[in-house]
Amino acid sequence: MSSAIQDARTTQGGRAQSPDPEQYRPGRTITDWAPEDPAFWRSTGRKVATRNLWIAVPALLVAFVVWQVWSITATNLKDVGFGFSQSQLFWLTAVPGITGGTARIFYTFLGPMIGQRRFTAVSTVVLVVPLLWLGFAVQNPETPYGVMVAIAALCGIGGANFSSSLANIGFFYPKQEKGNATGINGGLGNLGVSVVQLLTPILITSSVLAIGAGQKKANGSEIYLQNAAFVWVPVLVVLAAVAWFGQNDLKVASTPFSQQKIIFKRKHNWLMTWLYVGTFGSFIGFAAALPLLIKTTFPAYSVATYAWMGPALGALARWAGGWIADKLGGARVTILSFAGMALSIIGVINFLPSGGGEGNFYGFFFCFLAAFFFSGIGNGSTFRQIPVIFRGQHLKGLTEGTPEYAKALKQAEIESGAVTGFTAAIAAYGFFFIPAMFANFAVTSAMWGFVGFYASCIVVAWWFYARKGAEAPS
């Protein structure tokens, strides 16, 4: 084809005016993608983006199930004869946070390099391995603690899927819908935390689903801890297949590491990481620690009844946080979320047992629900801020429609995706640090530390993003 004909078929943004419609079918690589073009978005883009989003959501949800399965499994181990100490059990809930956060760093950059459709499928199906190992290990109370730690570490890889999934979905949507789309993906994906905490106590009582013998509790009843792992194996296989055959790889999202690593020199990458540690780090850390915290602090109350509610509320609030931030601005909503989290945790502290008193469980629990709610709001608003910040930084002073503008816009999208994944990776360490703090420090001391951190986040969000004359209003 001559260059003149090629130029005639190409818009200023670099998309062919008559692209091949076959590329938008499931399982294909899309080379022409322009969500900011209203005509393209109405005719093709929205439908394709929606399909990719709703395939990503259940895959991410079940990945979170694998990541958080130890938060409930650990609460049952002593009941069936495992001789682990309380501190060891807290460490088992914390270890997946180390591997999840670390793997997220690699997943952030691997997804765009390999292709998100293929990466989603592979990263989903590999989670079968730790679940199978867990299912067999919990049937034997003589399983060494070191083996349990290794299984917990491998389960943590499930948490890594979040970084690649969120970065990818952002490429599919136009600026005005990114907050809502990532809120849906992240929020409903986060629901995997509450799903595992709600369903596991039910699943482990079913002999119908069991593969292998049950485990006897001290009161003579029988449970089947292996169900917490085995039941998700076929689900993962199906979801991996659906992703492989149903999603698309976006050529525009295919980026070598050499173009992504520039984010480590960007100040706003580190500032937004600080903020997201405060929101998502709190959400995932509290979700991991709350079941054991209830069992050890208020033993008269059922973990199965209460533990799942906070993560569910936080996950749904994330969706709302993205939507509200699209309307009101991300920085304002982020500041509101940190103020709410700080006040909520102060409430939790006041209702904890102290000075020989028994404390107040319902005051403790409802304040924790409020902390989950505000963390979810902040999760949505911070992810809304990232693309706005990087667009503003790269497009400042440029004229829309020029080659310089198109080049800067593409770089902004690349960096936004990489920053989204990287901030999520570092924040995932909250899964480790919060249970670890409860394992090594007094609960009240740990809680006051969280309040102080939230105060620092309010200052950062206000100074850089919300005040009049802020460096990067978002």
- Other CB atoms within 10 Å distance of the CB of residue 52: 28
Q: How far apart are CA 20 and CA 32, in angstroms?
A: 8
pLDDT < 70 positions in the chain: 1-18, 167, 252-255
- Beta carbons within 8 Å of 105's beta carbon, 6+ residues apart: 163, 422, 425, 426
At 377 the pLDDT is 95
Read off the tokens for 467.
Answer: 């005040």
Bridge partners, 16 (sequence order)? 10
- Please give the distance of CA 53 from its chain centroid, rounded to a whole number: 15
At 187 the pLDDT is 79
Nearest CA to 78 among 86, 70, 66? 86
Contact 385, 331 (CB under 8 A): yes
Q: Per residue in 228-269, pLDDT tens?
A: 999 999 999 999 999 999 999 887 666 677 777 888 999 999
- Other CB atoms within 10 Å distance of the CB of residue 468: 5
Looking only at the bridges linking them, the beta strands covering 29-30 and 249-250 are parallel
- Beta carbons within 8 Å of 270's beta carbon, 6+ residues apart: none
The number of CA neighbours under 13 Å toward the Cβ of 265 is 5
The pTM score is: 0.77
3 state DSSP class of 471: coil
Residue with tokens 């904890």: 352
Residue with tokens 């109405």: 42
Residue with tokens 């009101």: 328
Contact 140, 272 (CB under 8 A): no
At 242 the pLDDT is 96
Bridge partners, 222 (sequence order)? 216
Q: How far apart are CA 260 and CA 263, in angstroms?
A: 6
At 14 the pLDDT is 44
- Beta carbons within 8 Å of 453's beta carbon, 6+ residues apart: 278
The number of CA neighbours under 13 Å toward the Cβ of 17 is 8
Q: How far apart are CA 118 and CA 100, in angstroms?
A: 20
The DSSP element (H or E) to which 216 belongs, if any, is strand 215-216
At 116 the pLDDT is 78
Q: Per residue in 416-467, pLDDT tens?
A: 888 988 898 898 888 888 888 887 788 899 999 999 999 999 999 999 999 9
- Other CB atoms within 10 Å distance of the CB of residue 186: 28
Nearest CA to 323 among 180, 457, 466? 180
Proportion of the chain above pLDDT 70, given as a percent: 95
Read off the tokens for 444.
Answer: 């009240």
